[in-house]
Amino acid sequence: MTEPGDARESEATATAPTPRGLPAEVARRRTFAVISHPDAGKSTLTEALALHARMISEAGAIHGKAGRKSTVSDWMEMEKARGISVSSTALQFNYRAAGSDVDSVINLVDTPGHSDFSEDTYRVLTAVDAAVMLIDAAKGLEPQTLKLFQVCRHRGIPVITVINKWDRPGQAPLELLDEISERIGLTPTPLFLPVGIAGDFRGLLRRGPEGVAEEYIHFTRTAGGATIAPEESLTPEQAEAREGEAWVTAAEESELLSATGQDHDQELFLAGQTSPVIYASAMLNFGVRQLLETLVALAPAPGARVDVAGRPRETGDPFSAVVFKVQAGMDTAHRDRLAFMRIVSGEFERGMVVTHAQTGRPFATKYALTVFGRERSTVDTAYPGDVVGLVNATALAPGHTLFVDRKVEFPPIPSFAPEHFATLRAQSAGKYKQFRKAIDQLDSEGVVQVLRNDARGDASPVLAAVGPMQFEVVTARMQAEFNVETQLDFLPYTLARRTDAESAPELDRQRGVEVFTRTDGAVLALFSDKWRLQYIEKEHPDLTLEPLVATAD
């Protein structure tokens, strides 16, 4: 296996792929997402990756910071006003790893920047084979990183850790690693250690087997970090002569880590027990090439996915794909609806007629796109691991399966535990019909969860969200797409538990509790707070009260 970053020459190419057969196409793909707390530097890193892949010639083009050219999706006014990206899309690029004669195809599946859209982020994580956990060196682990990491663990997704912003003063390198192992129970195994303390980032020490310092990669800053930082490779002896104490410290740290068993082990990494670590500065483009090399060398290629019957659909089987995200209204001029699917098996060719597993109906794929920011391009061929957007795919919802030949249906994407609840009603009774239609539509897209019970009736259903900004999306789309003014009233509930028909009547009699049925048939009990829940659990141990998919706890 190629050691990440061990050769000097690497480059990104934009050549069209030559026909090489499905197994080779699968083997050269890497599909991943970046998980991070807002402001850790996800947009900056995405841009740095695009820069290294020569998709852009200067950083500052994608994430649309003030005064820079913006090419990011400005989905809805809300997105513009808040400077966040609501839409999840995928960036695909080729990258020729050091010493390789094959271009790898990297699919970076974007996740919403705002934590209120974490439900979308969780869904995105069902479509990737690996995650990059991006941590702000000064801030360490933050709540959103922790939650997202739990989802990765739950799904068995291997995690590569990038400790970002090393160009700024912050903690000691090993302190951060201790935090990772103590707070999330993942053993960090650095592949590269920083040379120079936080705030004085000179380069990276590449760790070989048993923590031996194998190479020093010295970086040179470029103006504003706008272009790739030139790298110089030095031997350990040269490094010590050049950097003195800073090098010696890094080499000692590397040995210390080995003494505690913190060396990379591919099996443990794939099993989700260890995480390779890279120190970086996305802003200065330090460590970005090393991340790409690591993804190519260590992250898994797309593999089989198990269907509802527990049978694996191998990548070499006939075409199948799973929808993980539906996005409407991205293009204000067209108001279209895009369903994003991740290809699981077989080759996708635009125009092929596939079957929609949930309805058994045929589905034509004439309009297949890749989308990143405002950039859309037609996809003619795609392979397992790739993400393809289907235009105006009204029947498709997150979790749905598409296939050809042998039928397959993948398990549904779990609904994540909502923590915010509100009722919604049309302001004018005359709009009730449109209101119902809109609710059904937004529900099927997974924008929010919709809960109903007999007492409240259908005129003002209860919306349940993981983050309150999901409500804003609902009310904004109600108005813009369906021309319905709505009234949103928050409910005093903060947590939900799954229950059943037998337990429902007793729960309904309790103060501070209300029982609902979700559209997928699940019976949910909402509680005002955790003390009420604990009290009821204690008083009525026979009642069914199960946590929903654990994300935060």
Annotated binding residues, as ranges? 110-114
Contact 147, 154 (CB under 8 A): no
Contact 56, 71 (CB under 8 A): no
> Minimum CB separation from ligand G4P for residue 44, in Å?
3
Torsion, Cα of 41, 265, 311, 402 (10° steps): 20
- Could you tell me which of 301, 289, 343, 349 has the C-alpha nearest to residue 105? 301
> Could you say whether residue 108 binds ligand G4P (CB under 6 A)?
no
Residue among 167, 263, 443, 445 that touches ligand G4P (CB under 6 A): 167
> Minimum CB separation from ligand G4P for residue 281, in Å?
4
Q: Of the two residues 113 and 302, which places its CB atom closer to ligand G4P in the complex?
A: 113
> Minimum CB separation from ligand G4P for residue 208, in Å?
26
Q: Of the two residues 113 and 346, which places its CB atom closer to ligand G4P in the complex?
A: 113
Q: Of the two residues 285 and 320, which places its CB atom closer to ligand G4P in the complex?
A: 285
Residue among 26, 28, 32, 43 that touches ligand G4P (CB under 6 A): 43
Contact 519, 449 (CB under 8 A): yes
Look up residue 417 and give its two tokens: 């535990």
Contact 347, 356 (CB under 8 A): no
> Minimum CB separation from ligand G4P for residue 417, in Å?
24
Q: Of the two residues 64 and 329, which places its CB atom closer to ligand G4P in the complex?
A: 64
- Beta partners for 133? 35, 161
Q: What number of chain residues touch ligand G4P (CB under 6 A)?
A: 18
Residue among 164, 249, 449, 503 that touches ligand G4P (CB under 6 A): 164
CA distance 103 to 20: 12
Percent of the chain as helix, strand, coil, to the nearest 5: 25, 30, 45
> Could you say whether residue 113 binds ligand G4P (CB under 6 A)?
yes
- Beta partners for 93? 106
Site for ligand G4P in 341-360 (CB under 6 A): none
Residue among 29, 165, 206, 337 that touches ligand G4P (CB under 6 A): 165
> Minimum CB separation from ligand G4P for residue 112, in Å?
10
Look up residue 448 and give its two tokens: 């929010």
Contacts of 429 (CB under 8 A, 6+ apart): none
Site for ligand G4P in 62-101 (CB under 6 A): 63, 65
Residue nearest to ligand G4P (CB): 41
CA distance 170 to 190: 18
Sketch the per residue contact string, 23 through 42, with ligand G4P: x for CB under 6 A, - otherwise: -------------x-xxxxx
> Residues within the annotated binding site for GTP?
110-114
Residue among 82, 154, 155, 168 that touches ligand G4P (CB under 6 A): 168
Characterise 314 by phi-psi region: left (phi > 0), alpha (psi -120 to 50), beta (else).
Answer: beta
Sketch the per residue contact string, 123 through 162, with ligand G4P: x for CB under 6 A, - otherwise: ----------------------------------------
Element (H, E) at 524: strand 523-527
> Minimum CB separation from ligand G4P for residue 72, in Å?
10
> Could you say whether residue 283 binds ligand G4P (CB under 6 A)?
yes
- Could you tell me which of 543, 468, 537, 533 has the C-alpha nearest to residue 496? 533
Look up residue 474 and give its two tokens: 């609902």
Q: Of the two residues 41 and 276, which places its CB atom closer to ligand G4P in the complex?
A: 41
Contact 60, 222 (CB under 8 A): no
Which residues in this chain contact ligand G4P in the complex, by CB under 6 A?
36, 38-44, 63, 65, 113, 164-165, 167-168, 281-283
